[in-house]
Structure 1
């Protein structure tokens, strides 16, 4: 079980990743997590996600050299009902010729990946979304490009060579920053092969491309998007609307003198709001607005055995003081009993635990109380239960 950032990158020290994030520099790590990465997305699980419905709604994309293939080219009519379905033989043939597949927001489809994304969000206080990329030949799904967020790559199956060309623009924004073209003969400033279990961290704006080294490759790309200064300005703008002065119309009809007076009043009020700016308050607001991922735990919450694994799906780490009777995540409010509050607080502190370990860590609570609390949190979909005994 990948419980926290340290267990994700083990045996490397957590400081190696933390320093790279703070210093905004590229980092390639070899980990001892090959088996755990492979369990995140086994090939049968990936294949089951590729359906004609997901191709048609865009969650699954088939791409070659940066161009999407129309889903109709991968569809066939079933002989009996005439219902449109995936043509797996056609897809297999095209994959052998260099077609790549992308599954967007796979954290919403695979619970273990969802729990991983939620854990990363709690540690970094940044949005984390996960895409899966599968390639079968050296042809790339995309050419050299940059992302307007940080990227963490987890190599799951196969080997893939990455080419990085550095940052041409600091803090680029899609739709605002012009893309710097990379010439066909331009040499990368860094290149390496990712093996199963490897992690590659790329800071925002680092131009990169990748190609399969041999055979096939499956990797997860975790997009990590932090709040930005522009978000702070929007937050201040929303706070402005709490005051009557900022809700008043601005008309030129009263004349220049009245307009100048209004201008001075607005400047004074804006200065006051800016001078009292507190980024901790801003981040706390961002945390409160982030909804948890939903976990489906049918058949797992009763009965619970001591080795069942429990992971929170909350994407932020809320404060749970003594006496708290509810937890708010986004637009959802979940009521909590005192026992549920204590169990959830311990679980968030640990990021993950077995039932037996939770019981041992909460000596003031009986085993029955902890079991009932976990069952209730599971039914509320804010924890994920994983039975690894079967």
Structure 2
């Protein structure tokens, strides 16, 4: 039987702190709203409240970042909490190197340093988190990243469903658990819309003026060097401390970074990917492949003009 994973909350105390190139473009000033929040999230409107959808799409979406402070710290309690996170971490069998990662001071930790080889349910070789190794890294200040957790709690599933229903796109959820004074990731942009829901602790976010026009999940955008990002991030546009219940919207392509400012910080990043022109091209490609005309060799010069 696998050992229980370490409790994240206590570990916070133990740490003592817890090709073609894209062209950046300027953005408008950020929005900040205040107001009371509902505890249950069943729609995109609930997620945005008190900002109404019409205002969001007319003035904010794809234009500027948006910070919504929440006087109700329990806004995202249906999605996640320290208790739920610890319970999920103890379920070692559900995690693999694809869904469980660790990062220490902006460098990914090799999976061999915090996992152990096992056979999965289909008796295929796999790796799962090893409790003592994970705990040792947490004490050094390493962050935990849980990928693709869209269905792990009813609250997370509700938010993903609400995003997909309103945007007609694909929603993904990743959780980040990090510690004070240990930055997990360098400044970067994402290839999707980001809605960061803050769960526990505090984290300082900086959103920069630099923005890449409509980046996609392709090596041309995903493998840009650190120097490129540092050169093109621009000046700080917004610096905000997220607390439990807060929401931060960051448009696709907007440069940002973050660092925990409390002994332990947890947030869930909901990524929303739109349907784009390349998706349409892929559908057309699949359809064209069924037509013999598009599978026919192009004519050679010897075939003459009649073959064209």
Please report the TM-score for the alignment, with normalisation by the length of structure 1.
0.58
Structure 1 unmatched runs, 5+:
78-83, 261-390
Q: Could you say which structure has the higher helix fraction?
A: 1
In the alignment, which residue of structure 2 is the partner of 1:202?
250
What is the CA distance between 1:239 and its match in structure 2?
3.3
In the alignment, which residue of structure 2 is the partner of 1:175?
219
For 1:236 and 1:21, locate their aligned partners in 2 and report how far apart those are by CA, in whole Å.
Answer: 33
What is the CA distance between 1:62 and its match in structure 2?
1.1
In the alignment, which residue of structure 2 is the partner of 1:6?
45
Query: Which digits, 9 at most, give the CA deviation of each residue in 1:233-275, with x for residues without a partner?
Result: 2222333345453343434276131343xxxxxxxxxxxxxxx
In the alignment, which residue of structure 2 is the partner of 1:225?
273
What is the CA distance between 1:155 and its match in structure 2?
0.7
What is the CA distance between 1:209 and its match in structure 2?
0.7
For 1:72 and 1:195, locate their aligned partners in 2 and report how far apart those are by CA, in whole Å.
Answer: 33
SS at match of 1:245: helix
Counterpart check, 1:64 vs 2:104: yes
Whether the 8 Å CA contact 1:152–1:199 is kept in 2: the answer is yes
In the alignment, which residue of structure 2 is the partner of 1:375?
none
For 2:280 and 2:287, locate their aligned partners in 1 and report how far apart those are by CA, in whole Å.
Answer: 11
Equivalent position to 1:239, from 272, 283, 287: 287
Please report the TM-score for the alignment, with normalisation by the length of structure 2.
0.72
Which residues in structure 2 correspond to 1:72-151 (within 5 Å)? 72-74=112-114, 88=131, 90-151=133-194
For 1:54 and 1:19, locate their aligned partners in 2 and report how far apart those are by CA, in whole Å.
Answer: 41
- When Rg is computed on C-alpha atoms for both structures, the one with the higher figure is 1
SS at match of 1:143: coil
**What is the aligned residue count?**
253
Query: Which digits, 9 at most, give the CA deviation of each residue in 1:271-303, with x for residues without a partner?
Result: xxxxxxxxxxxxxxxxxxxxxxxxxxxxxxxxx
Greater Cα offset, 225-234 or 153-162 = 225-234
Whether the 8 Å CA contact 2:76–2:155 is kept in 1: the answer is no
Structure 2 unmatched runs, 5+:
1-39, 118-126
SS at match of 1:48: helix
Of structures 1 and 2, the one with the larger relative CO (CA 8 A, separation 6+) is: 2
For 2:196 and 2:255, locate their aligned partners in 1 and report how far apart those are by CA, in whole Å.
Answer: 14
SS at match of 1:113: helix
